[in-house]
Amino acid sequence: MDRSRTSVVAIPTAHRPELLALALEKLSAARKPSNLEVHIYVDTVSESRLREVEVVRDLYFPEAFLFLAPPHIQAPSGCWNILNSIKHAAQFADEVFLVEEDVMVYPQFFEWHQSQEGVAASCGRKMRRFESFPWYTNPGSCLRRPLLDALAPHINDEYFSNTIEYCKRFPPADWTSTLDDGLIRRVIQEMDGRWSFPETPVCAHQGFSWYGILDIYANKGGNIHQRVARAKEILSSVRSSDRYAQDFEPFLP
């Protein structure tokens, strides 16, 4: 395979297939390069949850490839699946678009990323709550070959077993996180790489912290079709000014 002629969207997913459905819906509507593959990476989940992911894939993006994670060492906050999704996708392409299950891309998403030259990574947006935060962030990003090669050796069980201790081998950082995008930032700095942000977002990170937890944002029970409908209802009514949704990002293409 000629990796230079292929791009891959890596979608790590686990416990929110209803959000995955909405992410795939937006991805399907985006203007896509002709050489694009979409890979859905399912973390270790129950058989019933895997069946739901398959239904979502078949309905919303049937040409996507589906990969199931093997049993693996545990790491916080989906870190293992996010980083291993990138590592696996990098075998097939020289640019990997990281679109987590709760990231909704705008129609111009790919066009903007592919206009960014000479950067190790381009970010799909700045964090809405911390727009002055100048560092790389994962949601809706694009990682390119030099960064993919530099990052891959660090995606290992030693890192996942103790991310804090592992990251001490890098120079002191201006941020605290040692999880997935915290590691990626350190690797970019170590390789003296650069990253870029769009003037206006080309995606929205909509999986706010209290989604599915607080009663007013609950999405439990029913079949997958009912939960997709409920997710649409929640995301269309919530506001980032709401007390328990301050990390919510509206979809405003």
- Evaluate if residue 2 carries a pLDDT over 80: no
Task: Encode pLDDT of 68-77 as tens digits.
Answer: 999 999 999 8
Task: Encode pLDDT of 41-71 as tens digits.
Answer: 999 999 999 999 999 999 999 999 999 999 9
- Evaluate if residue 242 carries a pLDDT over 70: yes
Report the half-sphere exposure of 27 (CA within 13 A, side-chain side).
30
- CA distances 92 to 3, 5, 14, 25, Å, are 6, 10, 22, 23
Measure the CA–CA gap between 195 and 126, rounded to whole angstroms: 12
Split at pLDDT 50, 70, 90, the class of 4 is low
- Evaluate if residue 218 carries a pLDDT over 70: yes
The stretch 91-96 carries a mean pLDDT of: 97
pLDDT of residue 221: 86
pLDDT of residue 54: 99
Residue of 142, 151, 141, 136 whose CA lies nearest to 95:
142
Split at pLDDT 50, 70, 90, the class of 3 is low
Measure the CA–CA gap between 122 and 140, rounded to whole angstroms: 9
Beta strand 103-105 pairing with 203-205: antiparallel
Whole-prediction pTM value? Answer: 0.96
pLDDT of residue 68: 98
The stretch 82-103 carries a mean pLDDT of: 98
Residue of 117, 132, 97, 129 whose CA lies nearest to 196:
117
Task: Encode pLDDT of 125-174 as tens digits.
Answer: 998 776 778 999 999 999 999 999 999 999 999 999 999 999 999 999 88
SS3 153: helix
Give all strands (DSSP E) within the chain, no chain letters.
Answer: 7-13, 36-42, 65-68, 95-98, 103-105, 121-122, 141-144, 195-196, 203-205
Backbone angles phi, psi at 9, to 5 degrees: -95, 120
Measure the CA–CA gap between 139 and 118, rounded to whole angstroms: 20
pLDDT of residue 132: 74
> All domains of the chain, ordered by start, with CATH?
3-207 (3.90.550.10), 210-246 (no CATH)
Query: Residues 131, 212, 103, CA angle at the centre, nearest 5°?
Result: 40
SS3 141: strand
Is-contact 95 242, C-beta < 8 A? no
Token couple for 20 = 């995955």
Task: Encode pLDDT of 100-131 as tens digits.
Answer: 999 999 999 999 999 999 999 999 999 877 67
pLDDT of residue 39: 99
pLDDT of residue 133: 84
Task: Encode pLDDT of 172-208 as tens digits.
Answer: 988 889 999 999 999 999 999 999 999 999 999 999 9
